[in-house]
Structure 1
Amino acid sequence: MITLQGKGVFGGVAIGKISFYKRTGGQIQRRKIDNPAAEIARFEEAKAKAIEQLDELYNKAVQEVGEGNAMIFQVHQMMLDDLDYVEAITNMITTQEINAEFAVGTTGDNFSQMFASMDDEYMRERAADVKDISERVVSILSGSQEGGLVTDTPVILASDDLAPSETVQLDKDMVLSFVTQGGSTNSHTAILARTMNIPAIIGLGEGLTEEYEGKMGIVDGATGKLFIEPDEETLKEYREKQAEYQEKQELLQKLKGEENISLDGQKVKLYANIGNASDIGAVLQNDAAGIGLFRSEFLYLENDDFPTEEEQFKVYKYVAETMAGKQVIIRTLDIGADKQIDYFNLPKEENPAMGYRAIRICLTQKDIFKTQLRALFRASAFGNIAIMFPMIIALEEVLEIKEIVEEVKKELDDEGIPYNKETQLGIMIETPAAAVISDDLAKEVDFFSVGTNDLTQYTTAVDRQNANLEKFYHPHHKALLRLIKMAADNAHKNGIWIGICGELGADMELTEAFLAMGIDELSVSPACILPLRKKIRETGIADRREEILADVLG
């Protein structure tokens, strides 16, 4: 048995085989072609090869798992010959004069979304199948090996680390746990693990190598230990721990439908942070009162080109309708820094965290910004949407945003397009500058949401993505907590509400402090909703408010 020590970023136990993330040549590029007939012939040849591969897989699976379990490969063969699927690809190649790889990938995504939205459970299950066959054909066309997570059973996913553009494309049903060589507690891999409610370990170092591909592993998210090829005694011990953890999770389910109210009657809204529409199931399952942070940049990360107004509108509308009147706070595009997108052609920067990112891009590339705002306001007619703007440092930025918002509203009015004229506008408090001038900012917006991840790094001058600086990263730093308290006081003085949407919102060592500050809303990963509800319902601070504040603020 081999034991590797890292840092646990989400608790729980995972037991399964280890599979390393495999990288290929990257995103599918759209190319103009001169000979559509030749391109269709390329597609037909690749399709035939894919059917041949699936036939081999079927024969192998019959021997290993029986005919019933092998049938899926025959289903995939039939789907590849489906007339609607084939015509959609060949028509796209012919009419748009584009390369087969892009046509297959786009058609696969479109058909997958269509199946996923169907009422029939069997048809919904075909969404993953059509995506799988499309990826197989694209791999053959591009001459690359299959990339990403290549598995047909849930695994412990290992990697050096995962970029946002990689995490967003994972088949999350196939991931039992994340283990990485590097990373930080605020990396996207760690945030995704918390969203998915699965154990994760970062910082395992170079001891985590691909020689362990396919080996049995145990992940202890609480202690940060990864056991490779565990002995029988260790395996038995951790199966028991896994059962205990599951029992605790089931007890938490009894808190569904209960109020988020402290022992002394203080109410707090508990919202959820999500990255895309597919996370809504986890939001509803964990009984969140709303969505406090929808990271809209993942719409851009999922695409090979700028998502259109219509594409964005459909996603925002779907989220608003599915949440059925519960508030959905959508953060406008927040790329740059650690979230890079090739087609934006952002310049290479020495210090990207301090550079051209988030609202700075939106205020200098207003066509991109207005497209998103139009989509957001159009979707506001279908639910309770609020819009939140990131990385604010000056009152002038807020005033300019409001001018652009008014331009968008006028356009929609002129076109007779309905929208909610009372849509709330808020800003993120994630720079010390915003916290210090929060008194001025509060007069111009409807709410604040504190982004503690960035506020911590900017306040303490510690890059939150740099694993070498973990020991210097102090999320309970008094300077940070004083800034949050300052923003809370200024929000309430000016009659607006304040929430926290950074990872610190789920830190139960600070729940008392946030109640004492009068924080109105905590937005956390869906899996943290019920444990946090339990903590709030067991906490009373009325007679200790000043004592608690003195302790954390100094």
Structure 2
Amino acid sequence: DNTPPHLPIAPSPHLPIAPSPHLPTSLQGTPASPGIAIAPCFRYRKTPITWEQTTSREQPPHYHVEDTTEEWQRLQTALHTAQQEIQTLLSHSSIQIGDAEAAIFDAHLLFLADPTLLEAAQQRIFTQHLNAEAVWQGVINEVASNYRRLDDPYLQERIADVVDVGQRVLRVLSGTPMTIVDVPQPAILVAADLTPSDTASLDPTRILGICITAGSATSHTAILARSLGIPAIVGLPPEILQLADGTQLAIDGETGRVWVEPEPETLVALRTQRDAQQANRQQTRTIAHQPGMTRDRHQISVFANVSSINDTQQAVNFGAEGVGLLRTEFLYLNRTTAPTEEEQLEVYQAIAQILDHRPLIIRTLDVGGDKSISYLGVGLESNPFLGWRGIRFCLDRPHVLKTQLRAILRASFRHEIKIMFPMITTVAEIQAAKAILAEVQGELHQAGVPFDEAMQIGIMVEVPSAVTIADHLAREVDFFSIGTNDLSQYVMAADRTNPKVAKLADALHPAVLRMIQQTVEAGHAAGIWVGLCGEIAADPLAAPILLGLGLDEVSLSPQAIPAFKGAIAQLTMPQAQAIVTTALQQDSAAKVREILNDDLHLI
């Protein structure tokens, strides 16, 4: 399991701050994440990085180093450790909050691998004989200063990400351990600021609300709070930091208002409002454990995207009817050698056991692109999304693929497991992958090892070439699963990890919708079923589109399942098909969204 520890908050070593006698009974901030929370406040003070070699113990030390090669290696080791931590957080966040929001940490990984930044750090160590901490702090300060000078508010907000990544590396260099959150009871977190890493690691069952004096409603911290379903208010007056731990607070993330020691009548009104919201969510959860079905009884399978055993249990709790995408990369992360056949078998069997006869689609290793694993020889490339990734890597390293296929086949005995190959661009690739699979099946037969002889084989459709030859590919497989996250960026020629162009990679753009339609039609004409595993399915607004396009299955982040099933339950197939017909005639994603908003108000 790759679930990271919760938010690194330590109880303050200082005495509680006495509340100011002049503290107002209510405070106004900027609404950042909707919802009502009533709980005692818990003041967050980040554990400071402490330095042994400096008298201030707060600023990184500056000193002369003789062995510059060793010092450069020390920085590289710290960068690698930070990279592994972020990769774990990314994998956890993909499930907890969805791929689109987790892409924040893709950007963190790219920052750590930025050649300009690394070259500047290396040059300073070798020419100035400066220690790694001083060099790294200097480089981070310069990047943050460059962002501050920009007019673009979006890019200015990325300063928080730069500082977050910078502090993570400094913490590793200093040897300051990550501390575990210790909230004595469910609480509202009060802080000067929260980093994106802090926020993504929060436990929504313990942290019921967030109040910070910094930030904006469009910051990554705000986006992550919304994804976690935690009410949040940003930009609050600094007086809130004077509150003593345990002070009763009530917050409304819709209006940005905070009540300090609220009056009984205020509490009654807010609790009534909160209870109505919770009842609405409970009704949605009830629908989630029923089949995904429209008002006119048309069914669509609703599966989950998962990355661990824990995620699978969470998916079942949220009403998943199966797993449409098991990302197996988590097995390969945070280690120095590839997982053995037995290690993989154990995990696949444990996941299949939790699913209890529900389908499990296992995607073979999908490295490269934004996922580099150094011990496999998958390094950094100048254009990684067009590089050595997915099935291309596995066909070049057949021993890695064969080990994984053996484990999957062995786990398939008495379970409903399917295999899915990623990043297929040509017929030759799927034929080569199937030949390796047949070879492994033959070896297992010979050894008398049982497996599911009728196991289905599918491919991810995520590049335009696969869409345009979908009729040929359909003859080779039992199912398609459309990966809209990658398909969108390839169709629109827009890297989804680049903030300057990421908005173009929108799965609701008619160009992408037509690709989905073409794939569904080709699959159905060949008699195979077609699913979709992409972040677009996590947006309830898109439900009529996916339904109307004729998809047989959708796979999404577990916590998004209730809202998707709730949206489906409001629709009929003719309504969904009519919406799709209109959407496909539009010329932008914005116009498609307008139609969806208008039509859903009428339904």
TM-score tier (shorter): 0.5 to 0.7
Matched position secondary structure for 2:413 = helix
Distance in 1 separating the partners of 2:526 and 2:397: 32
**Residue in 1 that maps onto 2:497:** 465
Residues 504 and 143 from structure 1, CA distance in 2 versus in 1: closer, same or farther, beyond 3 angstroms?
closer
Match of 1:268 among 300, 305, 327: 300
Residues 274 and 306 from structure 1, CA distance in 2 versus in 1: closer, same or farther, beyond 3 angstroms?
same
Residues 273 and 538 from structure 1, CA distance in 2 versus in 1: closer, same or farther, beyond 3 angstroms?
same
Q: How does 1:284-303 map to 2 (within 5 A)?
A: 284-303=316-335
1:205-239 per-residue CA deviation (whole Å, 9 max, x = no partner) reads 9x99xx99999999988x7x988x87567996876
1:176-206 per-residue CA deviation (whole Å, 9 max, x = no partner) reads 6899989999x99979985xx534989x99x
**Residue in 2 that maps onto 1:144:** 175
Residues 429 and 161 from structure 1, CA distance in 2 versus in 1: closer, same or farther, beyond 3 angstroms?
farther
Q: How does 1:36-55 map to 2 (within 5 A)?
A: none
Q: Using the TM superposition, give the Cα deviation of residue 242 of structure 1 relative to its aligned residue in structure 2, in angstroms.
A: 4.5
The residue type equivalent to 1:285 in the other structure is: N
Contact (CA 8 Å) 1:28, 1:304: kept in 2 or not? no
Match of 1:547 among 564, 578, 603: 578
Q: How does 1:46-85 map to 2 (within 5 A)?
A: none
**Residue in 2 that maps onto 1:360:** 392
Match of 2:431 among 399, 418, 427: 399
Contact (CA 8 Å) 2:294, 2:569: kept in 1 or not? yes
Q: Using the TM superposition, give the Cα deviation of residue 553 of structure 1 relative to its aligned residue in structure 2, in angstroms.
A: 0.8
**Residue in 2 that maps onto 1:89:** none
Matched position secondary structure for 1:301 = coil
Matched position secondary structure for 2:459 = strand
Q: Does 1:451 align with 2:487?
A: no
**Residue in 1 that maps onto 2:290:** 258
Match of 1:245 among 264, 277, 284: 277
**Residue in 2 that maps onto 1:474:** 506
1:452-508 per-residue CA deviation (whole Å, 9 max, x = no partner) reads 111111111222223343544433100000000000000100011111111111322
The residue type equivalent to 2:176 in the other structure is: Q
**Residue in 2 that maps onto 1:515:** 547
**Residue in 2 that maps onto 1:347:** 379
Distance in 1 separating the partners of 2:347 and 2:218: 30
**Residue in 1 that maps onto 2:411:** 379
Residues 200 and 406 from structure 1, CA distance in 2 versus in 1: closer, same or farther, beyond 3 angstroms?
farther
Residues 294 and 171 from structure 1, CA distance in 2 versus in 1: closer, same or farther, beyond 3 angstroms?
farther
**Residue in 2 that maps onto 1:312:** 344
Contact (CA 8 Å) 2:485, 2:535: kept in 1 or not? yes
**Residue in 1 that maps onto 2:568:** 536
Distance in 1 separating the partners of 2:381 and 2:181: 34
Residues 199 and 150 from structure 1, CA distance in 2 versus in 1: closer, same or farther, beyond 3 angstroms?
closer
Q: Using the TM superposition, give the Cα deviation of residue 387 of structure 1 relative to its aligned residue in structure 2, in angstroms.
A: 1.2
The residue type equivalent to 2:229 in the other structure is: I
- Identity, % of aligned positions: 32
Distance in 2 separating the partners of 1:23 and 1:2: 29
Matched position secondary structure for 2:555 = strand
The residue type equivalent to 2:317 in the other structure is: Q
Q: Using the TM superposition, give the Cα deviation of residue 396 of structure 1 relative to its aligned residue in structure 2, in angstroms.
A: 1.2
Q: How does 1:5-154 map to 2 (within 5 A)?
A: 12=35, 17=42, 25=78, 144-147=175-178, 150-152=181-183
Distance in 2 separating the partners of 1:21 and 1:193: 22
Contact (CA 8 Å) 1:184, 1:465: kept in 2 or not? no
Q: Using the TM superposition, give the Cα deviation of residue 147 of structure 1 relative to its aligned residue in structure 2, in angstroms.
A: 1.9
Matched position secondary structure for 1:273 = strand
Distance in 2 separating the partners of 1:5 and 1:189: 9
Distance in 2 separating the partners of 1:462 and 1:395: 25
**Residue in 2 that maps onto 1:81:** none
Contact (CA 8 Å) 1:21, 1:149: kept in 2 or not? no
Matched position secondary structure for 1:509 = helix
1:311-342 per-residue CA deviation (whole Å, 9 max, x = no partner) reads 11100011112211110111111222333334
- Residues matched between the structures, number: 426
Residues 550 and 23 from structure 1, CA distance in 2 versus in 1: closer, same or farther, beyond 3 angstroms?
farther
**Residue in 1 that maps onto 2:443:** 411
CA RMSD of aligned residues (A): 4.3
Residues 192 and 355 from structure 1, CA distance in 2 versus in 1: closer, same or farther, beyond 3 angstroms?
farther
Distance in 1 separating the partners of 2:244 and 2:331: 33
Contact (CA 8 Å) 2:549, 2:577: kept in 1 or not? no
Matched position secondary structure for 2:178 = coil
Q: Using the TM superposition, give the Cα deviation of residue 357 of structure 1 relative to its aligned residue in structure 2, in angstroms.
A: 2.0
Q: Using the TM superposition, give the Cα deviation of residue 150 of structure 1 relative to its aligned residue in structure 2, in angstroms.
A: 4.4
Distance in 2 separating the partners of 1:200 and 1:433: 43
Distance in 2 separating the partners of 1:399 and 1:161: 43
The residue type equivalent to 1:455 in the other structure is: L
TM-score normalised by the chain length of structure 2: 0.60
The residue type equivalent to 2:403 in the other structure is: T
Distance in 2 separating the partners of 1:300 and 1:183: 36
Distance in 2 separating the partners of 1:19 and 1:490: 54
The residue type equivalent to 2:306 in the other structure is: I
Distance in 1 separating the partners of 2:467 and 2:251: 39
Q: Does 1:329 align with 2:361?
A: yes
Residues 184 and 495 from structure 1, CA distance in 2 versus in 1: closer, same or farther, beyond 3 angstroms?
farther
Distance in 2 separating the partners of 1:412 and 1:486: 38
The residue type equivalent to 2:392 in the other structure is: R
Pick which of 142-151 and 307-316 moved more: 142-151
**Residue in 2 that maps onto 1:278:** 310
Q: Using the TM superposition, give the Cα deviation of residue 162 of structure 1 relative to its aligned residue in structure 2, in angstroms.
A: 4.6
Q: Does 1:428 align with 2:460?
A: yes
Contact (CA 8 Å) 1:283, 1:526: kept in 2 or not? yes
Residues 460 and 20 from structure 1, CA distance in 2 versus in 1: closer, same or farther, beyond 3 angstroms?
farther
Q: Using the TM superposition, give the Cα deviation of residue 443 of structure 1 relative to its aligned residue in structure 2, in angstroms.
A: 0.9
Contact (CA 8 Å) 1:500, 1:521: kept in 2 or not? yes
**Residue in 2 that maps onto 1:107:** none
Matched position secondary structure for 1:500 = strand
Distance in 2 separating the partners of 1:365 and 1:189: 42
Distance in 2 separating the partners of 1:188 and 1:342: 30
Matched position secondary structure for 1:467 = coil
The residue type equivalent to 2:348 in the other structure is: Y
Residues 429 and 21 from structure 1, CA distance in 2 versus in 1: closer, same or farther, beyond 3 angstroms?
farther
Q: How does 1:152-301 map to 2 (within 5 A)?
A: 152=183, 160-162=195-197, 198-199=229-230, 242-255=274-287, 257-301=289-333
Matched position secondary structure for 1:510 = helix
Matched position secondary structure for 1:498 = strand
**Gap runs ≥5 in structure 2:** 1-26, 50-77, 83-171, 586-603
**Residue in 2 that maps onto 1:79:** none
Residues 415 and 308 from structure 1, CA distance in 2 versus in 1: closer, same or farther, beyond 3 angstroms?
same
Contact (CA 8 Å) 2:424, 2:430: kept in 1 or not? yes
1:247-297 per-residue CA deviation (whole Å, 9 max, x = no partner) reads 222222332553322122311111111111111222221222111111111
The residue type equivalent to 1:350 in the other structure is: S
Q: Using the TM superposition, give the Cα deviation of residue 161 of structure 1 relative to its aligned residue in structure 2, in angstroms.
A: 4.2
Matched position secondary structure for 2:302 = strand
Matched position secondary structure for 1:549 = helix
